[in-house]
Structure 1
Amino acid sequence: MTDVTEQDRVDDHWPVGRLLSAAARRIEREWNTHLAAWDLNHASHPVLVHLTAGPMSQRGLAEACGVTEQTMSRVLARLERTGYVSRRPDTTDRRRHVIAITDAGRQAFLASADPRPAQERVFAALDERQQEQLRQLLLLVVQPEDPEAWTPRTVPEAPEGTPGTGRRTA
């Protein structure tokens, strides 16, 4: 009888879906560890991404982030407690709230936006070519059936010298 290692069990028996799920959880843990320095997490960071383009309604943010309004309400409550967003009644519709990023939220977003620290820990075993190949394959996997409906947002770059971004001044 031969010894079966954990790696053998993963290689031989895990379907692609389980591998992707396990990889996503690992990346999420690393990303959350990185974002914790700014009291952010994987759920709150995309909200700041969307708000950098301008104020939005809670419903609009929920739709943009692909979550329910109830979930968005909890995320926004946390961001409001940290001082990263402001929530005020819409002047034209009292039932609606307008959410805006604060200066502190913009600074936290810019400082935390660089995904490289988390990715480097997860993908240390892959060379640059393999990392790019994985990225391209994952883009194909997550792309909806109607590619015209999907337009990834560009994240603004943090200015050089911003703490926590890995970008240094010359």
Structure 2
Amino acid sequence: MPDDPSSWATGRLISHVARGLERRWNNHLDGWGLNHASLPVLLHLLRGGHSQREIATLSNVTEQTMSRTVARLERLGYVARTPDPTDARRQVVHLTDAGRTVAAEAARPEQGEAIASAGLSPEQLASLREILVDMVRAQAPDTQSPETQAPDAEADAR
């Protein structure tokens, strides 16, 4: 059977599951007018105001993408932009009271866990989490492969 997932390459499996989870997560967030890209912005702003550039960097997206996301959140009443008191050319994005409330409601961990763990036993979920954490760490920009490690690190390992 060509569409049997057991025959798919690992990358295709991961991509398929990720797209499905993203759709389900977006359906959950749609009740607040949010999506998978806008919720992290609200969560970053829970710690205080940031410039659009800072939020883009924190979210690992372009400034242009962040500009559209912030504009949408502003139209929804979840964020406001104010002039930076130390640099008149810069604006700081802050959560509104509505944004703070929505961030707390939409990001409840129980809902995300229910979406992500559907069909898995507690043991499978624990194993999946370990594997995913390892994969995230392996993709971190500061992770060095053995080929890029400093020569001293190799010598120290002997």
Q: Please, what TM-score do these two structures have when normalized by structure 1?
A: 0.77
Shift of 1:115: 4.1
1:26 equivalent to 2:20? Answer: yes
Cα pair 1:52 1:101 within 8 Å, conserved: yes
1:93 alignment partner, one of 68, 87, 92: 87
- Contact kept, 8 Å, 1:31 with 1:115, in 2: the verdict is no
Which has the larger share of helix?
Answer: 2
- 1:10-159 alignment, distance < 5 Å: 10-12=5-7, 14-143=8-137, 144=140, 146=142
**How many Å apart are 1:15 and its aligned residue?**
1.3
**How far is the alpha carbon of 1:130 from its aligned partner?**
0.7
Deviations 1:102-147 (A, max 9, x none): 1000000101112433542453221111112111111111112636
- SS of the aligned residue for 2:88 comes to coil
Looking at structure 2, the residues matched to 122 and 86 of structure 1 have their Cα atoms a distance apart, in angstroms, of 32
Distance 1:115 1:28 in 2: 15
Could you say which structure has the larger radius of gyration? 2
TM-score using structure 2 length: 0.82
Shift of 1:94: 2.3
Paired with 1:92 and 1:30, the residues of 2 have a C-alpha distance of 42
Say how many residue pairs are matched.
Answer: 141
Contact 1:62 1:72 survives alignment (8 Å): yes
Q: Distance in 1 between matches of 2:43 and 2:33?
A: 15
Runs ≥4 residues deviating over 6 A: none
- Structure 2 residue ranges without an equivalent (≥5): 144-158
Q: Which amino acid aligns with 2:35?
A: N
